[in-house]
Amino acid sequence: MIRIYTLLLFVMLLWGMNVSAIKVLVGAVDPLLLQGFRVMIAGIAVLLICAGLGIFRLPKKHEWLTIAFIAIFNVILHHSFLAVGLERTSGINGSLILGMNPLITAMLAFLILHQRMSWLRVAGFILGFGGVVVTTLTGSGELTGLSLGDIFVFLGMFVQGLSFILISKLKPTLDARLATGYMLVFGAAVIFLTSQGFGSDIQDITRLFDWQLAGVFLFSAILATAFGHMTYNYAIKKVGPAESAIFLNLNTLFAVTAAAVFLNETITLYHTAGFILILTGVFLGTGALEHLIWKRKMRTERKTW
């Protein structure tokens, strides 16, 4: 279990930095074209890793439908919304909105998996959404309207949370890491075809031949997307969707820090207030506080025996 938690911590660092990476890349290449190419490279990398691990095989007929269905949410919609959204909002705003993922995952687990929902968790949802409101409406230092980019990032985060629930229901016969590779390849093909339907110029990919952009692209595709998604989806099957989502708190912290360091964006008091509300909401909404209280109660009862 410690090994899985350590890997999740590393993945959160990668994903936090990846928000800034995508923000840089969509400034040079059409968002949908970029995502189709980036996710395809990631999917091929995952399948090669699976072959090296000895778990590669072709999916069975009934598994193809499951892979395609989850890919719609986990790859096609999530990566498309995220790329388009980050092109239209700041890296910090996008990072903080993505920080709502643990709450959304916990809420969907309650609605779909019928997990218990206490008043503390309800309070967590309210605080978390309050944090997003503070971040998106006052993130620039003054009251503004909700940007279209913020809405797209929120939708990208929501469909990803839904995909985590679906991944947790995968049958044991289909390894989550192998399923991730096929989902990425299938989703990338759909995103790429969609980009061509919207008139994207495939020659724009040549802009990535610049050594700096190429380095950012390879980091995003191989480390953040291929290794990150493969590892995270594997963890969902091992420890559960809500438990894995708790680690996304650190993703938010790393993402905001990376936006300030690499994109030279300013962290305002409103960003700080929004982050505190989101972090508190996640701590309550995912049941982390209840778990700590339960563990303390159990230790106290043992001492009295």
Q: What pLDDT tens digit does each residue of the chain (305 aa) get?
A: 678 878 888 998 998 899 899 989 988 999 999 999 999 999 999 999 999 999 999 998 888 988 999 999 989 999 899 888 988 888 878 877 887 777 787 788 778 877 666 788 778 778 877 877 777 666 555 545 568 888 999 999 999 888 888 887 777 788 888 999 999 999 999 999 999 998 889 998 999 989 999 999 999 999 999 999 888 888 877 777 666 766 776 777 788 788 888 888 888 888 788 888 877 877 787 666 777 787 788 777 776 66
Q: Are 152 and 88 in contact (CB under 8 A)?
A: yes
All structural domains of the chain with their residue ranges: 2-304
Residue entry with tokens 């610049």: 210
- Scored b (16 or more CB within 10 A) or e, 80-116 reads bbbbbbbbbbbbbbbbbbbbbbbbbbbbbbbeeeebe
pLDDT of residue 224: 95
pLDDT of residue 1: 64
pLDDT of residue 219: 96
Query: What is the spatial distance between Cα 289 and Cα 301, in angstroms, rounded to a whole number?
Result: 18
Query: What is the spatial distance between Cα 156 and Cα 136, in angstroms, rounded to a whole number?
Result: 15
3-state helix, strand, coil in the chain (%, to 5): 80, 0, 20
Q: Are 159 and 101 in contact (CB under 8 A)?
A: no
Query: What is the spatial distance between Cα 282 and Cα 258, in angstroms, rounded to a whole number?
Result: 21
pLDDT of residue 140: 57
Query: What is the spatial distance between Cα 237 and Cα 78, in angstroms, rounded to a whole number?
Result: 20
Query: What is the spatial distance between Cα 59 and Cα 79, in angstroms, rounded to a whole number?
Result: 23
Residue 68 is encoded by which pair of tokens? 């395609």
pLDDT of residue 106: 76
Q: What is the DSSP letter of 212?
A: H
**What are the φ/ψ torsions at residue 171 (nearest 5 degrees)?**
-70, 145
pLDDT of residue 144: 56
pLDDT of residue 243: 64
- Residue partners of 165: CB distance under 8 A and separation at least 6: 105, 108, 109, 112, 113, 241
- Residue partners of 211: CB distance under 8 A and separation at least 6: none
Query: What is the spatial distance between Cα 130 and Cα 224, in angstroms, rounded to a whole number?
Result: 29
Query: What is the spatial distance between Cα 255 and Cα 48, in angstroms, rounded to a whole number?
Result: 28
pLDDT of residue 159: 93
pLDDT of residue 136: 66
